[in-house]
Amino acid sequence: MKDLAQQLEHSPLRSAERRNNPYRDDKVIDACSIFGMMDQNRRLFTGNDIIEASANMNERVNGLGSGYAIYGLYPKNRKNYALHIMYDDKEALKWGSKYIGSNFEVIYDEEIPMDNLDKSKQLPIMWRYFTNIDVDHLNRMEKEDYMVKKCLEINTSGRGAYVFSSGKNMGVFKGVGWPREIAKIFRLEDYKGYLWLSHSRFPTNSPAWWGGAHPFAYLDSTVVHNGEISSYGANRRFLEMLGYRCTFQTDTEIFALALDYLLRKQHMPIEIVAKIFAPQRWNDIEKMPTNEKNLLRRLRITYGNLLMNGPFSIIFANHGLMVGLADRIKLRPLTAARKKDLFFLSSEEAAIRKICPEIDEVTHPQGGRPVVARCNEGIAS
């Protein structure tokens, strides 16, 4: 592993895809724990509970990657795109800052404060930029397209710069370590949000590097994922046909990009997207009332290549929205729970009970049935 790391340091190809998948395997494979917590009244809370819950699932992971996404993070700059970018070194930082400066209007930028817990190791440089897109005549959709395009460009630039998140009033913090370690390194006790996602991983074929940890985010959308998608090749090809580039070569990124396409570009409701990712069986579709049958049939015909086949459970978040979904035959665990205004999604029920022993309602959703929670709304499944 050390040799490989050294080799990478001297490699001119420091783009995310080379970095995340140095053995050039088909894709990166890992097992994981996932956790999500949302206050449906948008009250801000610290990460103490979610860190505790994630640490309770250490059995599922091996300390080679953890991460958090926080919504409601930057209320003062809520109108700016907050870019969280990791840099390999100062040279990369110089390049990245110049690139950001020439493509965006930068309102404010700073180094993300970090504590180095192990002085024998060097931490990567983390920087955040609050930006506007000051390109004339772009409507909202075009501005968002512009942002996605720029993120993909940075990740594939080979300059050693990697965008972790690019949404408004939200941010992703992730790196190599156990859930508690990463929380400490990023001083997460200083942050508050109304929606938190966490993820810890057990990678099998990816070196421990900071960019490989979850969550994966584009604009305001964030995904954490547990599982392996056997249809990866088919899904990836379809997304590439649409002009996307899979810069990290992981299943999770496939979810992030597919969600970007279906939710943001095609304006589909999340319930419909769930039916594309994990559709009902043809036999079941045939038995449905005409309208529903036609809808599901056509979704499968048109978006068959976005069916996510293989074991997965995901938590997807956007402002005011948290969704859990497991594959059609539920080969990965997913639990949903509610305590008053707090809504939880987790790989394990034990993790929820660890921080909230008395829950009002708990469900283990069937494969392919999304659990959707919106702010100021109850659990709808």
Partner 1 sequence: MLKSHRLPEFNVYIDTDTCTVCKACVIQCTFDVFSYEKVGNMIEIEESKCVDCHRCMIFCPEKSISIIPNPVQYRANASWNKEIIHNIMKQAESGGILLTAMGCDKPNFNYFDKLLLNASQVTNPSIDPIREPMELRTYLGSKSDMFTIAENDKDPIIETSESPHLLLETPIMFSAMSLGSVNINVQESLAIAAVSNGIYQNIGEGGLHPKLKQYANHIIVQVASGRYGVHKEYLDAGAAVEIKIGQGAKPGIGGHLPGEKITEEISETRRIPAGTDAISPAPQHDIYSIEDLSQLVHAIKETTEYSKPVIVKIAAVHNSAAIASGIVRSGADIIAIDGMRGSTGAAPLVMRDNVGIPIEMAIASVDTRLNKEGVRNKISIIAGGGIRSSSDVFKIIALGADACYISTAALIAMGCTVCQKCHTGKCPWGLTTMNPAISIRINPKMASKRVSNLIRGWTLEIKDMLGGMGINSIESLRGNRHQLRGIGLSDHEMEILGVRPAGS
Q: Is 109 helix (H, G, I), strand (E, B) or coil?
A: strand
Residue among 26 and 377 whose Cβ is closer to partner 1: 26
DSSP 124: P
CB within 8 Å of 279: residues ≥ 6 apart: 285, 296, 299, 300, 307, 328, 368
Cross-strand pairs, 312? 227
State the nearest-atom distance from the C-beta of 270 to partner 1, in Å.
12
State the nearest-atom distance from the C-beta of 372 to partner 1, in Å.
14
Residue among 295 and 362 whose Cβ is closer to partner 1: 295
For residue 171, what are the CA distances in angstroms to 28, 148, 150, 167, 352? Answer: 23, 15, 17, 7, 23
Residue among 94 and 265 whose Cβ is closer to partner 1: 265
Mark 337-366 as b/e (b = at least 16 C-beta within 10 Å): bbbeebbbbbbbbebbbbbbeebeeebebe
Binding residues (CB under 8 A) for partner 1: these are 24, 26-27, 29, 31, 204, 227-228, 230-238, 240-243, 266-269, 272, 281-283, 291-292, 294-295, 298-302, 304-305, 307, 309-311, 328-329, 331
State the nearest-atom distance from the C-beta of 319 to partner 1, in Å.
21
State the nearest-atom distance from the C-beta of 353 to partner 1, in Å.
27
3-class SS letters over 153-192: HHHCCCCCEEEEECCECEEEEEECCCHHHHHHHCCHHHCC
Residue among 104 and 232 whose Cβ is closer to partner 1: 232
State the nearest-atom distance from the C-beta of 292 to partner 1, in Å.
7
Residue among 123 and 295 whose Cβ is closer to partner 1: 295
CA–CA distance, 132 with 329 (Å, rounded to integer)? 43
State the nearest-atom distance from the C-beta of 27 to partner 1, in Å.
7
Dihedral of CA atoms 338, 344, 345, 347 in degrees, nearest 10, equals -100
Residue among 1 and 241 whose Cβ is closer to partner 1: 241
Of 32, 246, 356, 375, the active-site residue reads 32
Q: What is the identity of the amino acid at 274?
A: A
Is 32 catalytic? The answer is yes
Q: Supply 234's token pair.
A: 């088919």
DSSP run (H or E) holding 374: strand 371-374
For residue 28, what are the CA distances in angstroms to 21, 49, 157? Answer: 6, 29, 20
Residues known to be catalytic: 32
